[in-house]
Amino acid sequence: MDILEIVIGAVALLMTLRIFLERSRARKLLYLCCLSFCISALIALYVKSPMGGITAIVYFITSTLSSNAIAYTIEQTKHIE
Amino acid sequence: MKNLEVLPLISGVCCILGGLGVVLHTNPINKIIMLALLEIGMIGLIVSSYYLDIAIISSICEPICTIILLLGYMKYLTTIKKKKKFGRDLPVLSK
Amino acid sequence: MDLVQYILYLGYALLIIGTLGAILGPKVEDPLIRFLNVEVPSIGVALIFLTYDEDLALMTFIAVNAILSLILIRALILKEKYESE
Amino acid sequence: MDEIVVSILKMLVAGAICWINFVIIDTYFGLPEQPGVLGAKMIGEKVKDIGGNLHGGYFMGNIVCSPDASAGTLLASIMNYLMGVEGGLITALLVWIGNRLCADPGYAGTIGALTITAIISLLKPIIEPKYFVAGMVLAIFTIQGLDHKHASLLLGKIAKKMNRGE
């Protein structure tokens, strides 16, 4: 194990626990964004080939798309509830 | 446990906490956020056994599934609200 | 513990959690919440496919799962609409 | 033991460089001014409710809702670690496509990727590119993960100093 992977892993573990324990819905999305940064960096440090870099880029952009949709729906359903 | 790397450990923690979170929360948007956490764990485990093409396919299919669930939730919510409003009005109209 | 055994036990754990949660979880009378609980064991099944090296089956399962959720959620909306009329 | 201290120092220096890079580029392209999409407005108002600044909240919401200079910095340093200088150019193209998918103009992401490529190719003999990957994770952790109230107050102060947003 490298020292860099241990630091990134500690940050990711903290983010997972804070997503699980947070009450507010909007602040869960902020922690989820930080977690996807960590996982994207871990994928690139684990695979160590150009295909791993492509995987990290595709994963990060699609996870951003998904959290964009969740935030839009929270704003829309605030008026209905 | 000593020959595991960092990525499988983090992904396993994401899977277990995400699964418990989907079951224990009761608001549907909270459940969908936890489902995103669970899929993050699944993609990490697929990458850690070096199936990179399936990881790309899976991470493309994940926001499609999320968007379908969110659109369905909005439609479901408006249907239930409309039913409650009609349920109060309709007997008055039919009399 | 080996990586393969680790993923296998993780898949079994997700299957058990998801199945119990879909039967007797909190507020499960609402059909949308029960449908969202059912998504958990499907990911457990995907992890077990990953353990036995069935890569083509895994890819098909993930792609079909998105389409299946479309059909099921359409059925839920139609049921609510017909009950209100 | 001495090696670990040196690598942690390198990581902290790389993190400071990444932090300055993406905060300045994002503020210059007007992220704190107005929310780009509808979800960013909601996140900014929720951050204001817990006692933070509104424009710092818009900044954090825009980072969540579309890949901006922060994503450009992380992905360009990943591809520089794996492929060399050509990877940075490929990243700029892919981040631009991702920005267009999220309904954003997409200048901040590409310019952030190109700037960090230039910085890494200048500093390559001293700090290797893999320290920039870990440094970027630490930099985004101080903004999105540690304490939302004080982070948004700091971002609002920087935006006021650069004449973006009130």
Q: Where are the domains of chain D?
A: 19-31+38-161
* pLDDT of B95 above 70: no
pLDDT at res. A1: 65
- In a 3-state reduction of DSSP, which class is residue D84? coil
**C63 interfaces chain B, CB cutoff of 8 Å:** yes
* pLDDT of D56 above 90: no
- In a 3-state reduction of DSSP, which class is residue C67? helix
Mean pLDDT of A38-53: 92
Q: Verify whether the Cβ–Cβ distance A70 to B29 is below 8 Å.
A: yes
Distance (Å, rounded) from C-alpha D18 to C-alpha D127?
13
Nearest one of C11, B39, C83 to C31, comparing CA atoms: C83
CA distance B23 to chain C (A): 6
Burial of B73 (0-12, 13-18, 19+ CB in 10 A): buried
Residues of chain A contacting residue B44, judged by C-beta atoms under 8 Å apart? 39, 42-43
Domain boundaries, position A49: 3-79
Going by the DSSP 8-state scheme, the letter that residue C30 receives in this structure is S
Residues of chain C contacting residue B73, judged by C-beta atoms under 8 Å apart? 32
Q: Note whether D53 and D156 are within 8 A (CB).
A: yes
**C38 interfaces chain B, CB cutoff of 8 Å:** no
CA C49 to the chain's CA centroid? 14
pLDDT at res. D59: 87
Dihedral, D140, D146, D152, D157 alpha carbons, nearest 10: -80
By percentage, how much of chain D surpasses pLDDT 70?
98
Nearest one of B37, B42, B43, B12 to B24, comparing CA atoms: B37
Distance (Å, rounded) from C-alpha D109 to C-alpha B32?
28
Number of domains in chain A: 1
pTM here is: 0.91
Predicted confidence (pLDDT) per residue in B3-13, tens digit? 788 999 999 99
CA distance A17 to chain D (A): 11
Nearest one of A1, A71, C57, A15 to B41, comparing CA atoms: A15
Dihedral, B34, A62, A57, D102 alpha carbons, nearest 10: -130
Nearest one of D155, D152, D134 to D15, comparing CA atoms: D134
ipTM for this prediction: 0.91
Residues of chain A contacting residue D66, judged by C-beta atoms under 8 Å apart? 64, 68
By percentage, how much of chain C surpasses pLDDT 90?
61
Distance (Å, rounded) from C-alpha D149 to C-alpha D156?
11
Look at A35-39, B43-47, C38-42, D96-100 and tell me which has the smallest mean pLDDT.
Answer: D96-100
pLDDT at res. B73: 92
Taking a contact as any Cβ pair under 8 Å apart, which residues of chain A between 16 and 45 contact chain B? 16-17, 19-20, 25, 28-29, 32, 35-36, 38-39, 42-43
CA distance C72 to chain B (A): 10
pLDDT at res. D64: 87
Residues of chain C contacting residue B67, judged by C-beta atoms under 8 Å apart? none
In chain A, DSSP assigns E strands to none
Distance (Å, rounded) from C-alpha C14 to C-alpha C49?
13
Q: Verify whether the Cβ–Cβ distance B40 to A35 is below 8 Å.
A: yes
Calculate the average pLDDT of chain B: 86
Q: Verify whether the Cβ–Cβ distance D137 to A37 is below 8 Å.
A: yes
Query: Residue type at B5?
Result: E
Q: Going from the N-terminus, what domains does chain C have, and what CATH number goes with each?
A: 3-84 (1.10.287)
